[in-house]
Amino acid sequence: MNLDIRFDFERRERIGLVEAIWGEDKSVDQLKRLSEELLSKKEVVFITRINRKKANYLLDIYKEGRFYEEACCLIIGENLNKFTTNKKVAIISGGSSDLAVTLEAKLSLEIYGVSCKSFIDVGVAGLHRLFKEIKEINKYDVLIVCAGMEGALATVVGGLLPQPIIAVPVSVGYGVSKNGETALYSMLSSCAPGIAVMNIDNGYGAAMAALRIIKRISS
């Protein structure tokens, strides 16, 4: 069955953000049609959760495309309507196993021209590493915290720093970690007040939440 796919071109006008394309469950033909439509309207193509096989198919057509394999993201073209802001985002992760989610968030922010920096491997199992970076992290306006296992990093950061914190549970860990469910419940149960929690592995969603905050405080 060949169903029409309708892209939300009015989203930028409504909320200032463009729609990303979820690549995991779309065929290469659907991705090609969407890419053609977006590029014809001078919109950036940002595809998340895309594998190497699908990416190669599109890269054969769009030579200017950039595939970020560790993040499972593909970008074609450029966002011509970037943010004008001096606000910065820190992306903090418990370990290198959280890298895919961290990179997805970073790419999502960079498309809009927002300055961001990743702080990798500063999880609670080696808390001294976080303390060495805490002064630098405190220079940033919004914090995204990605962590698997028990997801405690978001609570620790939330107890130390005053910025808006967006926590992302990551599907990393043994047994009862349950593909990120334990980290999700831990973050939702955090005793550090005011932490916002995204769904499991949703680095893109965390970036969009950060952009909403930055858009309001910059206006």
Q: Three-state SS across 103-170?
A: HHHHHHHHCCCCEEEEECCCCHHHHHHHHHHHHHHCCCCEEEEEECCCCCHHHHHHHHCCCCEEEEEC
Q: Tens of pLDDT along the chain (219 residues)?
A: 445 677 777 777 787 788 889 999 899 999 999 999 999 889 899 999 999 999 999 999 999 999 999 999 999 998 888 888 899 999 999 878 888 999 999 999 999 999 999 999 888 888 899 999 999 999 999 999 999 888 899 999 999 999 999 999 999 878 888 888 999 999 999 999 999 999 999 999 999 999 999 988 876
CA dihedral 35, 41, 45, 46 (to 10 degrees): -130
| Strands 142-147 and 115-119, bridge-based pairing | unpaired
Identity at 146, one-letter amino acid code: C
Count of positions (residues) in the chain: 219
Query: What is the residue extent of each domain of the chain?
Result: 11-76, 88-218
Q: Tell which CATH classification among 3.40.190.100, 3.40.50.620, 3.40.50.720, 3.40.50.1970 matches the domain 88-218.
A: 3.40.50.1970
In this structure, are residues 170 and 200 in contact, taking their beta carbons and an 8 Å threshold?
yes
- Listed in sequence order, the DSSP H helices in 7-126 are 11-15, 28-40, 52-61, 99-110
Using the Cα atoms of residue 99, residue 164, residue 215 and residue 218 in order, give the sign of their dihedral. Answer: negative
Q: 51 in the Ramachandran plot: left (φ > 0), alpha (ψ -120 to 50) or beta?
A: beta
Q: How many helices (H) and strands (E) does the chain have?
A: 8, 9
Angle among Cα 7, 50, 33 to the nearest 5 degrees reads 35
Q: HSE-up of 12 (CA within 13 Å, CB side)?
A: 16
How many Cβ atoms from other residues are within 10 Å of residue 136's Cβ? 11
pTM: predicted TM-score of the whole model, two decimal places = 0.90
